[in-house]
């Protein structure tokens, strides 16, 4: 019974992870501008990768493998926002941002000072 429950948990986590990754890919393809695309990539992909890593950690069953996957998830949650912010700044500096989509442009003042 325990093995069956574990199998269902792995299946559920893997399915949720794949669905989040699919939503992320569709968001990157369908959303109108660079900021909304980065939002889709950052949020959905983070949750998707986390679910897939957790499913892999449970699947391999070894305690050390599980904690390695948990450490990777923690690392991913720390680095993903930093990477997304860096990409947003690069998009702004290279002019890939449509000005009419910005209701408040806080980067303009920061860029003038730099």
* Model pTM score: 0.80
What is the spatial distance between Cα 3 and Cα 20, in angstroms, rounded to a whole number?
Answer: 26
Task: Please report how the helices 106-113 and 63-93 are oriented relative to each other, as an axis angle in degrees rounded to 10.
Answer: 80
Encoding tokens for residue 60?
């391999």
Domain boundaries, the chain: 2-113
Give pLDDT tens digits for 5-64.
999 999 999 999 999 999 999 999 999 888 888 888 888 888 999 999 999 999 987 788
Q: Give the confidence band of 1 by pLDDT, cuts at 50, 70, 90.
A: very low
The DSSP secondary structure of 28-44, one letter per residue, reads HHH-SSHHHHHHHHHHH
Give pLDDT tens digits for 58-107.
998 778 888 999 999 999 999 988 988 898 888 888 887 777 667 777 77
């Amino acid at each position: 019974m325990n093995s069956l429950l574990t199998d269902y948990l792995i299946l559920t986590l893997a399915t949720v992870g794949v669905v989040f990754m699919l939503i992320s890919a569709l968001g990157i393809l369908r959303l109108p501008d660079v900021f909304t695309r980065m939002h889709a990539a950052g949020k959905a992909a983070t949750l998707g990768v986390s679910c897939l890593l957790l499913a892999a950690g449970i699947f391999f069953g070894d305690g050390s493998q599980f904690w390695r996957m948990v450490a990777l998830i923690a690392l991913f949650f720390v680095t993903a926002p930093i990477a997304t912010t860096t990409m947003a700044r690069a998009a702004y500096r290279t002019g890939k941002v449509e000005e009419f989509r910005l209701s408040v442009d806080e980067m303009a003042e920061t860029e003038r000072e730099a």
